[in-house]
Amino acid sequence: MEYRSGSVGRIFVVRFDEGDDFLGGMKEMIVKEDIRSGWFHVLGGIREADVVTGPKEAVMPPEPVWKEVREVKEVLGAGSIFWDGDEPKIHLHTALGHHGDTLTACMRENTKVYLVLEVCIIEISGIDVSRPWYEKGGFNRVTFG
């Protein structure tokens, strides 16, 4: 285990509307506001998303199991924001539900909002954290400066 201590910086409340590109919009906003480190919560609806439901087997590097979500789901999730060089990296795990059936997954691509998606971003300041590519693990890993 390794850790660092930081402080709460700015807090953003963001609303995404019907049909918005959720992850694309998040990245645009993160770049515009220069949020270098942060944690966020999300709730609302998603119309479609490509998600990872876990590794195929418990090996390193893992082979992700992809699932296309193409029906409306309720969403509750938590994620982090750290950068890899000039690119913000979003790591978001969500519970996606519909009529009592729930899928827990890492939301990755092609995200379209259903009705409304609300996000609260808490910026973490005074901390040197990035998320560069971790070759051994085959993923972007939180790294402390």
Give the pLDDT of residue 132. 98
pLDDT of residue 110: 98
> Is 111 a member of any domain?
yes
Are 13 and 96 in contact by the 8 Å Cβ rule? The answer is no
Which domain range does residue 129 map to? Answer: 7-144
pLDDT digits 0-9 by tens, 105-138? 999 999 999 999 999 999 999 999 999 999 999 9
> What is the value of pTM for the model shown?
0.95
Q: CATH number for the domain including 99?
A: 3.30.1330.80
Token duo for residue 63: 């082979």
Place of tokens 């790591």: 91
Residue 112 lies in a domain: yes
SS3 99: coil
The span from the CA of 96 to the CA of 46, in Å, is 8
Number of domains in the chain: 1
In a domain, residue 2? The reply is: no
Look at residue 1 and tell me if it is in a domain. Answer: no
Q: What's the pLDDT score for residue 41?
A: 98
Neighbours of 41 (CB within 10 A): 13
The model's confidence at residue 96, banded by pLDDT at 50, 70 and 90, is: very high
